[in-house]
Amino acid sequence: MSAYTKSYNPFDEDDDEDLKPVKWNESSEPSGGGMDRQSYLQREVLRRSQATVDSTNRSLSLIYESEHVGVATAEELTRQGEVLQRTERMVDKMDQDLKTSQRHINSIKSVFGGFVNYFKAKPQEIKPEQNGASEYQGSNKLKEALSLSKEQEPKYLESHPNLRKLDNSEYNSSGPSSDSSLQRDSYPKNQHLRAYHQKVDQNLDEMSSGLGRLKNLALGLQSEIETQDEILGRLTTKVDTLDINIKDTDKKVKAL
């Protein structure tokens, strides 16, 4: 015979307020309390299953939100890369123009410079270094991750508290079905409880995929940052060299 009292409820030991069940009211128990208690426990199991579904829904929503922020960050970082590339090209063009100006100054300083330049063939203009194609080529890792994460935007909108549309069809008796008979047999026979279990499994699968996409997005951002660091390194060196050449040219102009 069990040592527990008639009003003992094993769920009372749960410290989670969201999952803590309402205590069994023994005073309101009718004479046929056995069946009522069974119904109560069944409702309690369904309530806990609903709480688990809600918890996984919130977790999944946070993953979609994080992915949405990651996509916005990646797009902004790509625009920043384009700006850096244009800036580098402008510095290259300024350096080329400065070299042309220095040749003219050297010609002016020579007594016979004008005659020499008259008969000398015009030097071929050196095009500034383009550092790649005209269109900015960002990190391939980031492009692939960004493409996959952008496809999840509708799911982010659906999971957003202010944008989502409630759809109860996923909790109906049909629920997500599996091709494996073993998986089908592993779910409870109760149609409502089975729907909850299937939804939890579906959410866990989505969470796993979402975490994988977040990982790829983070690796893509890291790769893009490393690429832009290289551009910044080249740009810093070119700007320093350009600054020295400008000062040297300024001295030559003042010496004329």
The structure's pTM equals 0.63
Establish if 247 belongs to a structural domain. Answer: no
Alpha helix ranges (H) inside 133-190: 140-150, 153-159, 181-186
Establish if 158 belongs to a structural domain. Answer: yes
Establish if 211 belongs to a structural domain. Answer: yes
Nearest to 48 by CA among 90, 17, 75: 17
**Range of the structural domain that residue 138 is part of:** 9-21+35-80+133-166+176-228
Establish if 249 belongs to a structural domain. Answer: no
Neighbours of 44 (CB within 10 A): 17
Establish if 1 belongs to a structural domain. Answer: no
Per-residue pLDDT of the chain in tens (256 residues, 90 and over written 9): 445 455 555 445 444 555 554 454 544 444 455 668 888 888 888 899 899 999 999 999 999 999 999 999 999 999 999 999 999 999 999 999 888 888 877 777 665 555 555 555 555 554 544 444 457 777 888 888 888 888 888 887 777 766 555 444 444 444 444 444 445 566 777 788 888 889 999 999 999 999 999 999 999 999 999 999 999 999 999 999 999 988 888 887 777 6
Establish if 96 belongs to a structural domain. Answer: no
Q: Give the total number of structural domains in the chain.
A: 1
Establish if 221 belongs to a structural domain. Answer: yes
Establish if 160 belongs to a structural domain. Answer: yes
